[in-house]
A and B are shown apart, each in its own frame.
Chain A
Amino acid sequence: EPEVTQTPSHQVTQMGQEVILRCVPISNHLYFYWYRQILGQKVEFLVSFYNNEISEKSEIFDDQFSVERPDGSNFTLKIRSTKLEDSAMYFCASSEGIYQETQYFGPGTRLLVL
């Protein structure tokens, strides 16, 4: 069964460093998403991406964050200058279509900012 994959599974970084989280969505899916889950808190939407453009973003997704689909398979989330409060589990998700289509989540990348 096709699945969303994410690398790395864990990342430890120093405050102020840049990190890139990588995702490979399900191959025939066209819509891509990033969510995050701070330990003990709700899963929160960050951004959605379609046709090489951001289609929606939350207040959390400020100028420190960016997303890119550098090739036909990868979807990346970049955090330019990490803060302690960026420590969280980051989930990539994808869906075939929009609106009625369900989103399938990857296993997540656990980011720890020291």
Chain B
Amino acid sequence: QKEVEQDPGPLSVPEGAIVSLNCTYSNSAFQYFMWYRQYSRKGPELLMYTYSSGNKEDGRFTAQVDKSSKYISLFIRDSQPSDSATYLCAMRLKNDYKLSFGAGTTVTVRA
């Protein structure tokens, strides 16, 4: 079983739709969870960071963590064409340096 699993998509939605992305993980020791956005041939850009189960909202973005199910989600409301990118989930153990990434989900928002 892979440490972090993420459906690579691609996912295509009309402008204004809600985008729903998720990752599952196998290591229950992961403590910190992040979502990064990566535009083509660019570096990952941090979108959301959370370390507890529950929801965290920032503008149009909501990150959800369910540690009991080992499942994290990212929701993008009122999606825009500029949200078209690859979204990477990443997570880290409590006393560790490295981030473990999912494969990334490619999202296209159609105008």
Residues of chain A within 8 A (CB-CB) of B43 are 4, 6, 91, 105-108
B34 touches A102 (CB 8 A): yes
Secondary structure type dominating chain B contacts = loop
Is A33 in contact with B97, judged by CB distance below 8 angstroms?
A: yes
Is B101 a contact of A100 with CB atoms below 8 Å?
A: no
Residue in contact with B46 in the complex, picked from A44, A45, A55, A102, CB distance below 8 Å: A102
Known: A99-B94, A102-B34, A102-B46. A45 touches B41 (CB 8 A): no
A107 to B42, CA, bound (A): 5
- List the B residue with the shortest CB-CB distance to A6: B43
CB distance from B37 to the nearest CB of A (A): 11
> Which among A41, A48, A100, A107 is the interface contact of B97 at CB below 8 angstroms?
A48
- A45/B99 in contact, CB under 8 A: yes
Bound Cα distance from A35 to B97, whole angstroms: 12
Q: Which residue of B lies closest to A110 (CB)?
A: B41
Interface size on A, residues (CB 8 A): 27
A58 to B97, CA, bound (A): 11
Contact call B45/A105, Cβ cutoff below 8 A: yes
Q: Is chain A's interface secondary structure helix, strand, loop, or mixed overall? A: strand
Do residues A102 and B49 form an inter-chain contact, with CB atoms below 8 A? yes
A45 to B101, CA, bound (A): 9
The closest CB in chain B to the CB of A35 belongs to B99
A67 nearest CB across to chain B (Å):
13
A105 touches B98 (CB 8 A): no
| Assembly CA distance A56 to B97 (angstroms) | 7
Query: For residue A89, which residues in chain B have a CB less than 8 angstroms away from its CB?
Result: 41
- Asked whether A75 is an interface residue with its Cβ less than 8 Å from the other chain, the reply is no
* Bound Cα distance A105, B97 (Å): 14
Chain B CB within 10 Å — which of A31, A33, A35, A105 has the most? A105
Ranked 6 nearest A-B pairs via Cβ = A45-B98, A48-B97, A105-B43, A43-B101, A56-B97, A107-B43
- 10 A-B contact pairs sorted by A residue (CB < 8 Å): A31-B97, A33-B98, A35-B99, A43-B99, A45-B98, A56-B96, A99-B32, A99-B95, A105-B46, A106-B43
